[in-house]
Amino acid sequence: MVGPQRVVRRGERGEGRAGCVFWALVLATAVLVAVKVVPVQMSVMKLKDYMEEAAQLRANESDRGIEKFIVDRARELDLPVGPKDVEVKKGGGRVQMEVAFTVPLDFYVFTKNWDIEIKMIRDIYIF
Protein backbone atom coordinates (compact mmCIF):
# COMPACT_ATOMS: atom_id res chain seq x y z
CA MET A 1 0.00 0.00 0.00
CA VAL A 2 1.30 3.36 -0.99
CA GLY A 3 0.76 6.37 1.34
CA PRO A 4 -0.66 9.71 0.28
CA GLN A 5 1.58 11.72 -1.91
CA ARG A 6 2.56 15.19 -0.87
CA VAL A 7 2.95 17.76 -3.60
CA VAL A 8 5.37 20.61 -2.90
CA ARG A 9 4.95 23.71 -4.97
CA ARG A 10 7.48 26.50 -4.81
CA GLY A 11 6.41 30.13 -4.53
CA GLU A 12 3.08 29.43 -2.87
CA ARG A 13 3.75 30.60 0.67
CA GLY A 14 1.23 33.15 1.85
CA GLU A 15 1.47 36.65 0.43
CA GLY A 16 4.58 36.23 -1.64
CA ARG A 17 6.33 39.17 -3.23
CA ALA A 18 3.25 41.39 -3.39
CA GLY A 19 3.05 41.47 0.40
CA CYS A 20 6.72 42.32 0.67
CA VAL A 21 6.38 45.20 -1.79
CA PHE A 22 3.30 46.47 0.05
CA TRP A 23 5.07 46.55 3.43
CA ALA A 24 8.16 48.13 1.89
CA LEU A 25 5.95 50.94 0.54
CA VAL A 26 4.27 51.36 3.92
CA LEU A 27 7.68 51.57 5.62
CA ALA A 28 9.00 54.05 3.03
CA THR A 29 5.93 56.25 3.51
CA ALA A 30 6.32 56.19 7.29
CA VAL A 31 10.00 57.15 6.99
CA LEU A 32 9.17 60.00 4.58
CA VAL A 33 6.50 61.38 6.92
CA ALA A 34 8.84 61.11 9.91
CA VAL A 35 11.67 62.89 8.06
CA LYS A 36 9.36 65.81 7.23
CA VAL A 37 7.31 66.06 10.44
CA VAL A 38 9.75 65.28 13.28
CA PRO A 39 12.17 68.19 12.64
CA VAL A 40 9.25 70.66 12.53
CA GLN A 41 7.79 69.21 15.73
CA MET A 42 11.18 69.51 17.46
CA SER A 43 11.47 73.15 16.37
CA VAL A 44 7.96 73.90 17.63
CA MET A 45 8.84 72.36 21.00
CA LYS A 46 11.99 74.49 21.18
CA LEU A 47 9.98 77.61 20.32
CA LYS A 48 7.59 76.77 23.13
CA ASP A 49 10.57 76.50 25.50
CA TYR A 50 11.80 79.92 24.32
CA MET A 51 8.36 81.34 25.02
CA GLU A 52 8.54 79.93 28.58
CA GLU A 53 11.95 81.58 28.90
CA ALA A 54 10.57 84.88 27.63
CA ALA A 55 7.76 84.76 30.20
CA GLN A 56 10.24 84.22 33.03
CA LEU A 57 13.29 86.25 32.05
CA ARG A 58 11.90 89.05 29.92
CA ALA A 59 9.01 90.15 32.11
CA ASN A 60 10.40 93.71 32.30
CA GLU A 61 10.44 94.13 28.50
CA SER A 62 7.63 95.62 26.47
CA ASP A 63 5.12 93.48 24.62
CA ARG A 64 6.88 94.36 21.34
CA GLY A 65 10.26 93.39 22.80
CA ILE A 66 8.96 89.94 23.75
CA GLU A 67 7.30 89.56 20.35
CA LYS A 68 10.59 90.38 18.63
CA PHE A 69 12.41 87.83 20.82
CA ILE A 70 9.89 85.12 19.83
CA VAL A 71 10.08 86.00 16.11
CA ASP A 72 13.90 85.98 16.19
CA ARG A 73 13.97 82.60 17.91
CA ALA A 74 11.43 81.16 15.45
CA ARG A 75 13.56 82.30 12.51
CA GLU A 76 16.63 80.67 14.08
CA LEU A 77 14.60 77.45 14.16
CA ASP A 78 13.59 77.86 10.48
CA LEU A 79 9.92 78.31 11.35
CA PRO A 80 7.88 80.67 9.15
CA VAL A 81 6.88 83.08 11.91
CA GLY A 82 6.59 86.80 11.28
CA PRO A 83 5.67 89.74 13.52
CA LYS A 84 2.00 89.45 12.51
CA ASP A 85 1.93 85.82 13.72
CA VAL A 86 2.85 86.70 17.33
CA GLU A 87 0.72 88.44 19.95
CA VAL A 88 1.88 89.26 23.47
CA LYS A 89 -0.28 90.93 26.13
CA LYS A 90 0.79 91.72 29.67
CA GLY A 91 -1.53 92.71 32.46
CA GLY A 92 -2.77 91.68 35.86
CA GLY A 93 0.54 90.07 36.77
CA ARG A 94 0.38 87.73 33.79
CA VAL A 95 1.75 87.52 30.30
CA GLN A 96 -0.32 85.96 27.53
CA MET A 97 1.48 84.83 24.37
CA GLU A 98 0.01 83.44 21.18
CA VAL A 99 1.81 82.28 18.07
CA ALA A 100 -0.10 80.98 15.03
CA PHE A 101 1.56 80.05 11.75
CA THR A 102 1.46 77.51 8.94
CA VAL A 103 4.29 75.20 7.93
CA PRO A 104 4.12 73.76 4.40
CA LEU A 105 5.26 70.13 4.38
CA ASP A 106 6.38 69.07 0.89
CA PHE A 107 5.85 65.34 0.34
CA TYR A 108 7.07 65.47 -3.30
CA VAL A 109 3.67 64.37 -4.63
CA PHE A 110 1.64 66.93 -2.69
CA THR A 111 2.10 69.69 -0.11
CA LYS A 112 0.31 69.58 3.23
CA ASN A 113 -0.12 72.82 5.18
CA TRP A 114 0.30 72.19 8.91
CA ASP A 115 -1.40 74.87 11.01
CA ILE A 116 0.37 75.35 14.34
CA GLU A 117 -0.93 77.39 17.24
CA ILE A 118 0.82 77.89 20.57
CA LYS A 119 -0.99 79.63 23.41
CA MET A 120 0.58 80.31 26.75
CA ILE A 121 -0.44 82.24 29.87
CA ARG A 122 2.14 82.60 32.62
CA ASP A 123 2.38 84.56 35.83
CA ILE A 124 5.01 87.29 35.90
CA TYR A 125 7.46 87.16 38.77
CA ILE A 126 9.60 90.27 39.10
CA PHE A 127 12.40 90.10 41.65
d(CA 89, CA 67) in angstroms, rounded, equals 10
Task: Give pLDDT, residue 45.
Answer: 96
Beta-carbon contacts of residue 103 (< 8 Å; ≥ 6 apart) = 40, 79, 80, 113, 114, 116
Q: Which residue has the higher pLDDT, 12 or 120?
A: 120
Give the pLDDT confidence score for residue 57 in this predicted structure. 83
**pLDDT classification of 9: cutoffs 50, 70, 90:** low
State residue 91's pLDDT score.
Answer: 86
| Mean pLDDT computed over 11-16 | 57
Q: Chain-wide mean pLDDT for the chain?
A: 87
Spans of all domains in the chain = 41-123
State the average pLDDT over residues 67-85.
95
In the chain, helix, strand, coil percent, each to 5?
Answer: 45, 25, 30
| CB neighbourhood size of 121 (10 A) | 11
pLDDT tens for each residue of 15-62: 567 788 888 989 988 898 889 999 999 999 999 999 998 888 887 888
Residues 87-109, mean pLDDT to the nearest whole number: 91
**Residue 127's pLDDT is what?**
57
pTM given for the model = 0.76
